[in-house]
Structure 1
């Protein structure tokens, strides 16, 4: 007896890969990165340590860390073509993710894939900074060899020596969002690599997937909502009005997590430290009050939905705290996530099989050709 083939829309529920890179448990609110619960890694590791961990499955020794740093430093400079693409799109006020995708596509794959991976990761912050400076009619700032990956990115954006608190906040953010299961952009990476294409093509394709608002998201509106509220005494009034109009409360609810997003937990802690030493403490306290009020009202208006704080809520606060404008949020996310994409590409290489799901034909089968004059 023939059975009807089931279509898994969006590949929902389909397991397409085995990975050691990250584990997402939405019911328990747990995210494990290469064996480490997120809260035991993100606030402590440098981003270079996280890169090495994901690519090599162990923490680096001091000599290994130094070697990685030197390799990345040597790749920070852009070719004339890549720099011109980034700057021209900045001058044209192009969408930042369009600029990042276009400039990344100009990177040249090397014969050694590890060197290509380092080239991509080292180049992305320079691309974003070159675009951003040109967009704001400012001179390009050369990368520095004496700064870490995160500190150098802050330097190239502003030309100012970043504070230790700013660097730590950015490193915690980069560590927090480096990998998150088999999401759309990561799956895109694996599909492209499975065809035996190159890393530059895979990362360029993943950037295109991440640009979509259903995936990359938009952390900025979460902070816009806080600014609209303005003071703690207005939080309930404004949020109740939004819910009554059927509006979504930005920064709350996640497709996977049914409890508080563990990334929000880590970034809230990072924001606490940043705003205690290097920022507007009143804004931090307002954000915490808005969060508590929103969770209470969401449970009241949508009981049982379990709409808890997601990563966007504290991403917005933390990146705002290090003086990033909202248009820099998703490109900065990309600078981190590219490391995870590349780690997945390395894994997919070992599988040695093209990813090719099936489809079910639903169209007509017996159409008759009609010449154009008779149509």
Structure 2
């Protein structure tokens, strides 16, 4: 039997067949009271579990109505802003301390923190020949794709990957968090070399450096970075470390974990989720949008011209024609996103030192004007800037390439995913997560091939 080449006409025919046979009336969602996006009609989330890891607050309920409030992100009962103020006021890096808090549920003592940091430092490097065999021999044009595949491959380097004792899971989680920066740095180096025709630079982690410092050391060909850059990157990692069990990637991790699968499969699934432009990939979309705005608006200080361009974005007449203003709005935050508030403060100082204050003020204008533009288009939801509006701009001013924006997010969030996996394994009661779908397809008889 000969195998014919698949032609464009054949594929188009299959697409037409699919479109003809796969149509769901939007009214069916209302008829069966489907919680699309696992959101209730009032915008609140469907409660799918309980957690002690993090709380995301952006409104409160009064007389059955959502009332907007300044946003809060709370790690294990501690306000993230207070946590950051605590270690920055002492001139310390904070990601390791935050990782310990998220994984184990309490702030570490001085000795416990020192022991934890020593353990992480001992596992910053990748297994012998891992980079050569698993990254360089199979590079990817997308660093997130390579990160997901590399995490899956680590299963083969684990002596007992199916051992789900608490001690094994915690040890495995800490090692994965420690190795993530090196995987991202080497995946990016391979991407630059094999897809961008750049020189290949591979740097091993250095003893005595924090995760943020080691990442900057590894990703820059000259190994140079300033203490200010390293501490700002550390701050970004703390901000991105966790965001509750309801966000898509954490929920993905918990869904996979509930099946009893291994840590590597669960985390790879979370990475795939974060890669999407509606989740972690949104920071890249923000930067692309601002490139459109900067090219399309002649006077960045003219609020009427900026507002008009934002209206064109919403009308799908400009930008990527999606109708979205990226970096604005959030499922939970209303008046403010605490992560965006912090990043904006640091972004302004960095913009002043880098001579990029005009661009920063354009970001501020988009933040200020978007709610008015959305209201003019009939959207009544209270919106604020989310973390993605300023994170990419901060990375840009630090000289970090756009291909690394979402991988940096994943690198920081690794500990949050691991915390949710351990909680799902050991506190949830051991039930597989399985929601229901309403079937709307009618029953029909089988038709013999000759009669079709």
**TM-score (norm: length of structure 2):** 0.75
Question: Using a 3 Å threshold, how does the CA distance of structure 1 residues 361 and 298 change in structure 2: closer, same or farther?
Answer: closer
Contact 1:88 1:134 in 2 (8 A): no
List per-residue Cα deviations over 1:336-371 (Å, max 9, x = no partner).
111111101111112222222233332223x32333
1:372 matched to which residue of 2?
Answer: 449
2:151 matched to which residue of 1?
Answer: 104
Residue 315 (1) aligns with residue 315 (2): no
Contact 1:26 1:257 in 2 (8 A): yes
Question: Using a 3 Å threshold, how does the CA distance of structure 1 residues 148 and 248 change in structure 2: closer, same or farther?
Answer: same
Unpaired runs of at least 5, structure 2: 1-30, 40-44, 60-68, 88-93, 194-199, 316-322
Contact 1:169 1:274 in 2 (8 A): no
Aligned partner (choices 141, 150, 166) of residue 229 of structure 2:
166
Question: Using a 3 Å threshold, how does the CA distance of structure 1 residues 306 and 11 change in structure 2: closer, same or farther?
Answer: closer
2:36 matched to which residue of 1?
Answer: 9
Residue 190 (1) aligns with residue 254 (2): yes
Query: Which stretch shows the higher mean deviation, 294-303 or 76-85?
Result: 294-303
Higher alpha-carbon Rg: 2
1:291 matched to which residue of 2?
Answer: 367
Aligned partner (choices 175, 178, 190) of residue 134 of structure 1:
190
Q: Which runs of structure 2 are paired with 1:1-375 in the superposition (5 Å)?
A: 6-12=33-39, 13-27=45-59, 28=69, 29-42=71-84, 44-45=86-87, 46-79=94-127, 80-81=129-130, 83-90=132-139, 94-108=141-155, 109=158, 110=161, 111=163, 112-137=168-193, 138-158=200-220, 159-181=222-244, 182-227=246-291, 228=294, 229=297, 232-234=300-302, 236-244=304-312, 246=315, 247-276=323-352, 280-302=356-378, 304-350=380-426, 351=428, 352-365=430-443, 367-375=444-452
Unpaired runs of at least 5, structure 1: none
Query: Which stretch shows the higher mean deviation, 244-253 or 334-343?
Result: 244-253
Q: Distance in 2 between matches of 1:154 and 1:127?
A: 13
**TM-score (norm: length of structure 1):** 0.89
Partner of 2:174, secondary structure, is: helix
Runs of 4+ that moved beyond 6 A? none
Q: Distance in 2 between matches of 1:252 and 1:342?
A: 28
In the TM superposition, what is the alpha-carbon distance from 1:200 to its structure 2 partner?
0.9
List per-residue Cα deviations over 1:276-316 (Å, max 9, x = no partner).
55674454344334433444544555563323211111111
Question: Using a 3 Å threshold, how does the CA distance of structure 1 residues 368 and 302 change in structure 2: closer, same or farther?
Answer: closer
List per-residue Cα deviations over 1:2-48 (Å, max 9, x = no partner).
xx975333332421111111111222222212112222124554100
In the TM superposition, what is the alpha-carbon distance from 1:205 to its structure 2 partner?
0.9
List per-residue Cα deviations over 1:33-71 (Å, max 9, x = no partner).
211222212455410000000011111122211211221
Partner of 1:15, secondary structure, is: coil
Aligned length: 369
Partner of 1:337, secondary structure, is: helix
Question: Using a 3 Å threshold, how does the CA distance of structure 1 residues 6 and 282 change in structure 2: closer, same or farther?
Answer: closer
In the TM superposition, what is the alpha-carbon distance from 1:231 to its structure 2 partner?
5.6
